[in-house]
Structure 1
């Protein structure tokens, strides 16, 4: 057994292993760490385990240098999942031990839990996942009539969509993100981050934009790993929400996946029972618990839901609400400049 840091020459073999692993996600691909490193300067440290020349385990990890709080190792930042993938628990532990020996004394691992009863999800973050049929026609037929009518409503309202990877689509996607993130009172990722995502993922990435005439009303990006797809970012401009751009956006991306042999669509993180959870569940998506764990020197220190991690990295109470209100009043140009400087420090 050999445990070592991965190099660019290992990229293809790494991605093949991730694509074949039952718990592999688009975030586990080699591309994610490269995008983080090139866009934000955080160092990607990707360990792999080899046996007889074959990869039998991987641990994608990023060393985050933060203005406050020093260094943090995370597997992986800016996404829902990204912990170690391995052929056995023993190999998984070897990867964690090696990471600890190389400096990752404290490491946060974002893993997927096992499905259980609804009561275990109450108040926690879950990943919403939908099995897909082999065609968009079959997918549309599987929806309830109310859902189909909402998609048709968006089209009747004059909305249309485009998908691809062009610079123009990315610019329109970012325009929607800027407006929506300011409305939420939250800093936005840098444009360079999204350009790196497109560059690193290539054909395993798709941008979707919904338009009213020539005006971007909603937009999202999906990432693909083998037969799985995830949507880490989706936004709409609130002034167009009465026209249901989010319904057309998700339909466009789901239909694309169904037509391109994707068998599972990950709608991303939601709080169980709340608004975004209900939106995603109407498409038929089912909850999977997110199990984020902290390791010290390779040994499990604690396990907690994502809300606990979020509470330690965000402002609380009245101060948080004050910051949100202030951010919402800033000119869009200010949030475009300040947002990325803050966002690179927030690993959620």
Structure 2
């Protein structure tokens, strides 16, 4: 059903769920109205997150920007939500669903909680038309600058490229005072998702200065993570990498570049994605039960905002290894 349903994404796949389970020990759970033994016609997939810090809950899905219920009708959706409510009552602090394109509706007993912006670049246009839609100063000029400065963009998913990517992730998370997800998470995503994963690394004089981590599902390319060396931002490496990813997506006849979510107060990130020509739409998360979930960003900022940046890399990474399993 995942491969055939029009609203399925990389986050619905068994491979993504396997990576979550291997890294964070989250147990996948699914709800459907389909009869036992019959082909699945609908479903909502969750991960069970058990934490002494943040409570026991069901999330659809942790570390996933969106995960639509895969349904064919409003009646299917309401039946599924009722089943979720009945079978989880009293067992979890709350249940969270993160749809991309479906409103759960207040009558479902799920309440609108966190809201973000989702950014998606339409790739139905020709490559020339996509390029003309890039912001002239914010993107086109920086891409040309990167070419003049001989910024080289490589791609792959080898261990050496992963290490370069993760080194840049560490730099970026230090700037933002938020610990990084464990290296094991990225290794497991690569191991489980395999050819769906592509890491892009920008280098100047053979030195890695920027990197992005992407995944492919059907006709969609998903940008999930990125990191950079701040001292080389003037070279335009990030625009260069995104342009390389767009060119590859067009050559593979993909139809959209999903740039993920942005916090509503993150003006810099929203502006960057706008400059790529992406359309911005509201992304609403819904929750049933208590809404006391603590995010990784919240935990980091509330307990150790200034302390974190003073830690050596080994301890900085350890904080992430300890934190993220509670924050899914």
TM-score band, normalised by the shorter chain? 0.7 to 0.9
Q: Is 1:293 equivalent to 2:281 in the alignment?
A: no
Unaligned runs of 5+ in 2: 104-113
Instruction: Return closer, same or farther for 1:171/1:53 CA change in 2, 3 Å cut-off.
Output: same
| Residue of structure 2 equivalent to 1:209 | 201
Q: 1:111 aligns with which of 78, 87, 99?
A: 99
| Residue of structure 1 equivalent to 2:66 | 81
| Residue of structure 2 equivalent to 1:253 | 245
Unaligned runs of 5+ in 1: 1-13, 116-122, 303-307
- Work out the CA distance in 1 between the residues paired with 2:302 and 2:323: 17
Instruction: Return closer, same or farther for 1:310/1:278 CA change in 2, 3 Å cut-off.
Output: farther
> Size of the alignment, in residue pairs?
312
Deviation at 1:135, TM superposition (A): 5.4
| Alignment TM-score, normalising by the size of structure 1 | 0.81
Deviation at 1:129, TM superposition (A): 0.9
Instruction: Return closer, same or farther for 1:179/1:78 CA change in 2, 3 Å cut-off.
Output: same
Instruction: Return closer, same or farther for 1:100/1:313 CA change in 2, 3 Å cut-off.
Output: farther
Question: What does 1:1-348 align with in structure 2 at a 5 Å threshold?
Answer: 14-17=1-4, 20-21=5-6, 23-50=7-34, 53-103=38-88, 105=92, 106-113=94-101, 125-133=116-124, 136-146=127-137, 147-272=139-264, 274-296=267-289, 314-315=298-299, 320=301, 323-347=304-328
> Alignment partner of 2:195: what SS?
helix
Deviation at 1:158, TM superposition (A): 2.5
Larger strand fraction of residues: 1
| Residue of structure 1 equivalent to 2:108 | none
Q: Is contact 1:159-1:210 (8 Å) kept?
A: yes
- The CA deviation string for residues 237-292 of structure 1, in whole angstroms up to 9 with x for no partner, is 11111212211121121221121111111111113471111111011111111111
Q: Is contact 2:34-2:42 (8 Å) kept?
A: yes
- The CA deviation string for residues 128-169 of structure 1, in whole angstroms up to 9 with x for no partner, is 111014654453344354332211111212311111222221
More displaced 10-residue stretch of structure 1: 173-182 or 48-57? 48-57
Instruction: Return closer, same or farther for 1:131/1:201 CA change in 2, 3 Å cut-off.
Output: same
> Alignment partner of 1:266: what SS?
strand
- Work out the CA distance in 2 between the residues paired with 1:212 and 1:200: 31
> Alignment partner of 1:143: what SS?
coil
Instruction: Return closer, same or farther for 1:127/1:250 CA change in 2, 3 Å cut-off.
Output: same
| Alignment TM-score, normalising by the size of structure 2 | 0.85
- Work out the CA distance in 2 between the residues paired with 1:228 and 1:110: 18
Aligned Cα root-mean-square deviation (Å): 2.8
Deviation at 1:53, TM superposition (A): 3.5
